[in-house]
Amino acid sequence: MAERINTAVIGAGVIGKRHVDEIAHNDACRLVAIADPSPEAAAYADALNVPYYRDALARDDVHAAIVCTPNHTHLEVGLACIARKLPLLMEKPIADDLDSARALADAAAKAGVAMLVGHHRRHNPAVRAVKQAIEGGRIGKLVLANILCLMYKPDAYFEVPWRRQPGGGPVLINLIHEIDLLRHLCGEIVSVQAVTSNANRGHEVEDSAACTLTLANGALANVSLSDTTSTPWNWDTTAGEDRALFDYRPVPTHFFAGTDGALTLPDLALWSYRGKKGRDQPIHDTHLSFVAENVYAAQLRHFLDVVKGDARPVIDGHDAARTLAATLAVVEASRTSRPATPAPIQ
């Protein structure tokens, strides 16, 4: 393999362009192809002076691919990369249904091709700090997590028809990030109860949801979700991961309550009693320290380590399929008005 990793970006829309930017700032890789059938992508590649292809895999000196195509194409594009033995960073969700997710994860594992899935929050240092604190017992036994994912998507967002239809709503677009974060920080989800509503926007797809999850360790979690509420209480606004795209207000949105203390994200407040515990006692707060960094750059660095064989993906195909299974359980629970169990994966 050449010194720099020859990387192709397949699908140069919103997130594809972000990856292109990150590649340009990383000396360990080189962008050798942009592949996307749209004329806009051809013009974009031309403006960057990057070779443009309808099919990047036609080129035989590509060492790694970043797949940023629409969800329903992930299976086909991913299988093509795997057939070429190309390590890949597959954007989230791994696929738009569980059969496709399983097929992709199994194919990568069977072929021995490394696949990292783009649940980028796992590369956020604030998330890493909270994970260490929870696992290190800083809040005792986790009892309850409470997550707010409440935003207002501008009206123009809904001009694209699929965003008004089942599968295009906040459950599969936004909640899946919260579910992955919960699994990463707090453990597996074993049961899901949920109610969804489309009463506010009146689209076929939900605009809001209230979800109660039971975790394998016995803890509970609540997630409040809406794309029609005017609040700052959503990760995009509070975590500051993409300040060019979203306003930045670092107020807490993720609450982790344990028997000995409590933590919030993204501000990393740690609350606890210094002596006797009890609501009649003073409770103190301090802040965990962390060094903020560009999460998409951190994700790319990790991917390149995976490509070189120096690291295992922090989230591989089967892990990402579990996140999808738990997210789809929310859809099922809401449809049947009964608790749902995430479908088993491998």
Measured from the CB atom, is 100 or 258 closer to ligand NAD?
100
Instruction: Quickly tell me which residue has 């594809």 as its tokens.
Output: 16
Per-residue binder mask for ligand NAD (CB under 6 A), 102-131, x = binder: ----------------x-x-----------
Per CB under 6 A, 35 contacts ligand NAD: yes
Q: Is 166 exposed, middle or buried (0-12, 13-18, 19+ CB in 10 A)?
A: middle
Residue 93 beta carbon to ligand NAD: minimum distance, rounded to whole angstroms: 6
CA distance 330 to 195: 8
Measured from the CB atom, is 39 or 278 closer to ligand NAD?
39
Phi and psi for 169 in degrees, rounded to 5?
-95, -175
CA distance 26 to 96: 31
The single-letter code of the amino acid at 290 is F
Out of 4, 21, 73, 252, the residue judged to bind ligand NAD by CB under 6 A: 73
Cis, peptide link before residue 342, omega less than 30° from 0? no
Residue 312 beta carbon to ligand NAD: minimum distance, rounded to whole angstroms: 20
Q: Which residues contact 43 (CB under 8 A, 6 or more apart)?
A: none
Residues in the chain: 346
DSSP assigned state of 71: G
Residue 212 beta carbon to ligand NAD: minimum distance, rounded to whole angstroms: 25
What is the Cα 33 distance to its own chain's centre? 25
Per-residue binder mask for ligand NAD (CB under 6 A), 42-71, x = binder: --------------------------xxxx
Per CB under 6 A, 88 contacts ligand NAD: no
Out of 5, 8, 9, 10, the residue judged to bind ligand NAD by CB under 6 A: 10
Residue 84 beta carbon to ligand NAD: minimum distance, rounded to whole angstroms: 14
Identify whether the C-beta of residue 302 lies closer than 8 Å to the C-beta of residue 150. Answer: no
Out of 32, 41, 114, 149, the residue judged to bind ligand NAD by CB under 6 A: 41
Out of 11, 87, 266, 342, the residue judged to bind ligand NAD by CB under 6 A: 11
Q: Which residues contact 30 (CB under 8 A, 6 or more apart)?
A: 4, 5, 6, 7, 23
Instruction: Quickly tell me which residue has 């597959």 as its tokens.
Output: 90
Mapping DSSP onto H, E and C, the string for 89-100 reads: EECCCCCCCHHH
| Helical packing angle, 98-111 and 74-83, nearest 10° | 10
**Judged by CB under 6 A, which stretch of 37-45, 147-155, 191-199, 207-215 contacts ligand NAD?**
37-45
Pull the structure tokens for residue 212.
């109660």
Out of 19, 63, 92, 183, the residue judged to bind ligand NAD by CB under 6 A: 92
Residue 276 beta carbon to ligand NAD: minimum distance, rounded to whole angstroms: 44
Residues from 224 through 263 that contact ligand NAD (CB under 6 A): none
Residue 42 beta carbon to ligand NAD: minimum distance, rounded to whole angstroms: 10
Measured from the CB atom, is 141 or 243 closer to ligand NAD?
243
Point out which residues bind ligand NAD (CB under 6 A): 10-16, 35-38, 41, 68-71, 73, 77, 91-92, 118, 120
